Amino acid sequence: MFWTDLASHTCTTYATREYTARLVNIPSCYNRRVEACMATPVKIHGAEYTPKWCEDHGPNNVTGHWEVGQHEPDCAPYWSWYKDFVFDGMQRIEHYLENLPSGGDWKEFCATTPVSFRGMHFTGAEFYFQKNYGTYGHWVFDDESCK
């Protein structure tokens, strides 16, 4: 058994892309096709991965699905310029998200694109929205200078 028709698809989350391939050369009477699929690695970007899930559509029609989170720079947006707002003892930082992958779910990328500012690190935006054809994330926290 081996993989054929390896194809890359859309970016699913920060720095991660979906891949699919078809497992072939499966004996026609073999009834553990999904288990064989899950145990058969494929090489992507020089590294071996086993599928995240498999679909069995009959003999010689088993599809493996991978989510690869390495060497996928086209799937890595970044937070660029920001605005700083102070209100009622709170501070809100609003960042603009650049390089959003085409066809990607903007909410998923806002929630999973990491950022560091003011000595703090976040794994994604606390809140996010779109306006004027742009995608933004913001973070709200206590403003120590107001105390």
126's enclosing H/E stretch is none
Average pLDDT, the chain: 92
**How many distinct structural domains can be found in the chain?**
2
Domain holding 101, by residue range, is: 77-146
Measure Cα distances from 129 to 95, 123, 134, 142 in Å. Answer: 11, 17, 9, 21
Co-location of 82 and 142 in the same domain: yes
Q: Which of 68, 89, 113 is the last residue of a domain?
A: 68
Co-location of 64 and 89 in the same domain: no
The percent of residues in the chain predicted with pLDDT above 70, rounded, is: 97
pLDDT band at 145 (very low <50, low <70, confident <90, very high): low
For position 30, what pLDDT does the model report?
83
For position 26, what pLDDT does the model report?
86
DSSP states of 84-127: EEEETTEEEEEEEEESPPTT--HHHHHHH--EEETTEEESS-SE
Co-location of 83 and 141 in the same domain: yes
For position 146, what pLDDT does the model report?
57
Distance of CA 101 to the CA centre of its chain: 10
Co-location of 82 and 34 in the same domain: no
66-85: average pLDDT: 93
Co-location of 57 and 81 in the same domain: no
80-108: average pLDDT: 91
DSSP states of the chain: -EEEEEEEEEEEETTEEEEEEEEE---TT---HHHHHHH--EEETTEEE--SEEEE-STT-EEEEEEE-SS-GGG--EEEEEEEEEETTEEEEEEEEESPPTT--HHHHHHH--EEETTEEESS-SEEEEETTEEEEEEEEE-GGG-
Q: Which of 47, 68, 89 is the last residue of a domain?
A: 68
Co-location of 11 and 58 in the same domain: yes
Q: Which of 16, 41, 68 is the last residue of a domain?
A: 68
For position 61, what pLDDT does the model report?
87
Co-location of 89 and 46 in the same domain: no
Amino acid at residue number 104: G
> Is residue 95's pLDDT more than 70?
yes
Co-location of 19 and 53 in the same domain: yes
pLDDT band at 41 (very low <50, low <70, confident <90, very high): very high
Co-location of 47 and 81 in the same domain: no
Q: Is the pTM of this model over 0.85?
A: no
For position 97, what pLDDT does the model report?
97
> Is residue 38's pLDDT more than 60?
yes
The percent of residues in the chain predicted with pLDDT above 90, rounded, is: 74
Phi first, then psi: what are they for 127, rounded to 5°?
-135, 155
